[in-house]
Amino acid sequence: MSYKSTFQRAVVTGGAGFLGSHLSDALLASGCEVVCVDNLCTGSRENIGHLLGDPRFSFVRSDAIDGIHVDGPVDLVLHLASPASPVAYTRLAIETLRVGSEGTSNALELAGEKGARFILASTSEVYGDPLQHPQVESYWGNVNPVGERSMYDEAKRFAEALTVAHASRRGVDAGIVRIFNTYGPRLRSGDGRVVPNFIRQALADDPMTVHGDGTQTRSLCYVDDTVDGILRLAASPHLGPVNIGNPEELTVTELAHRIRELVVSASPLRHLGLPADDPKFRCPDISLADELLGWKPSVSLEDGLLRTIAWFSKNQDPAVTRLPRGPKEESVPS
């Protein structure tokens, strides 16, 4: 990917996480300096290890809840700090609510003080278990405020409201991106999300844990496409919210079969209970992203999964290392 540099110096909260580290890569490649602020509660030094020697990159290990202090000019604040997987935000329930509220407030204060563009990493989870399909930005959602996912959903809904208030009352130049399920290299294998779980299980020939009957759907976007969408919103004057996601929707069972095929694995499917409030359908309407940002995803599910599997094969437990089936192998007669 190559971006024309619109910004000189960005603060990325959550920059040592999956998405934040890829965004940092893209910003640095565009000529922008990056200050990564992260408490490493779900992120890791490995995600940014390749950047630590770059003089244009700095890492501040601190909690966004305690205030975000950065010296010098800043013209972009990308606020990603938050646990993001259901396993992580369930374990860190109060921390998730606090970073969504106090952490977002601190990130907005920083943007206001520096006169920087602010982008909130919101989520398709603001639509809850949606009653409208696909989900368009004007849909208000169907969230259980005291349910199993409420710490995350309500934190992000509050964060959106706070962002809108800072934009309208204090003139902060803000944008809200509603990110749909994104996958790719650097997802933690113990993160609990479906793609790293299935890939790890398939590589080890372990049972693939399908929650419920596996008919619930998700629409998976490869990380490079999501990063491109977020940076396009950052470079635009729009507040949004704007959905960024890939409308190629499939059931969880279909996903298990696709990954099993690409890994050439003998894993059986094992059905576990469906977590409470697990959304039954999820698919973004991305007309607004297309209209405002000229954005559409470009990486197919097969390509994205192959790249992700290749990364997991290299970076995970050597006992389960295995090469994914290459696209060329498909055309080889058996």
Residues marked active site are found at 152
Min dist. Cβ of residue 299 to ligand NAD (A): 14
Q: Does 211 bind ligand UDP (CB under 6 A)?
A: yes
Torsion of CA 17, 20, 21, 26, to 10 degrees: 170
Min dist. Cβ of residue 150 to ligand UDP (A): 13
**Sign of CA pseudo-dihedral 62, 63, 66, 72:** positive
Q: Does 162 bind ligand UDP (CB under 6 A)?
A: no
Q: Which is nearer to ligand UDP, 105 or 253 (CB)?
A: 253
Taking CB under 6 A as the criterion, which residues in 61-90 touch ligand UDP?
A: 85-86
Give the list of residues 6+ apart from residue 174 with CB closer than 8 angstroms, or none: 108, 111, 117, 118, 119, 120, 163, 164, 166, 167, 239
> Which of ligand UDP, ligand NAD, none interacts with 109 (beta carbon under 5 to 8 A by kind)?
none
Member of 42, 105, 201, 243 binding ligand NAD (CB under 6 A): 42
Whether the Cβ atoms of residue 191 and residue 229 lie closer than 8 Å to each other = no
Member of 194, 259, 262, 289 binding ligand UDP (CB under 6 A): 194
Whether the Cβ atoms of residue 118 and residue 173 lie closer than 8 Å to each other = yes
Whether the Cβ atoms of residue 119 and residue 109 lie closer than 8 Å to each other = no
186 three-state secondary structure? coil
Q: Does 182 bind ligand NAD (CB under 6 A)?
A: yes
Q: How far apart are CA 182 and CA 225, in angstroms?
A: 9
Q: Does 179 bind ligand NAD (CB under 6 A)?
A: yes
> Which of ligand NAD, ligand UDP, none interacts with 86 (beta carbon under 5 to 8 A by kind)?
ligand UDP
Q: Does 32 bind ligand UDP (CB under 6 A)?
A: no
Q: How far apart are CA 88 and CA 64, in angstroms?
A: 17
Whether the Cβ atoms of residue 30 and residue 53 lie closer than 8 Å to each other = no
Within 10 A of 151 (CB to CB), how many other CB atoms are there?
20
Residues 116-155, one symbol each (x = binds ligand NAD by CB under 6 A, - = not), give -----x-x--------------------------------
Min dist. Cβ of residue 60 to ligand NAD (A): 9
Member of 21, 163, 182, 216 binding ligand UDP (CB under 6 A): 216
Q: How far apart are CA 333 and CA 296, in angstroms?
A: 34
Whether the Cβ atoms of residue 124 and residue 181 lie closer than 8 Å to each other = yes
Q: Does 252 bind ligand UDP (CB under 6 A)?
A: yes
Min dist. Cβ of residue 214 to ligand UDP (A): 6
Q: Which residues bind ligand NAD (CB under 6 A)?
A: 13-14, 16-20, 38-43, 63-65, 80-84, 99, 103, 121, 123, 179, 181-182
Q: Which residues bind ligand UDP (CB under 6 A)?
A: 85-86, 181, 193-194, 197, 209-211, 216, 218, 252, 275, 278
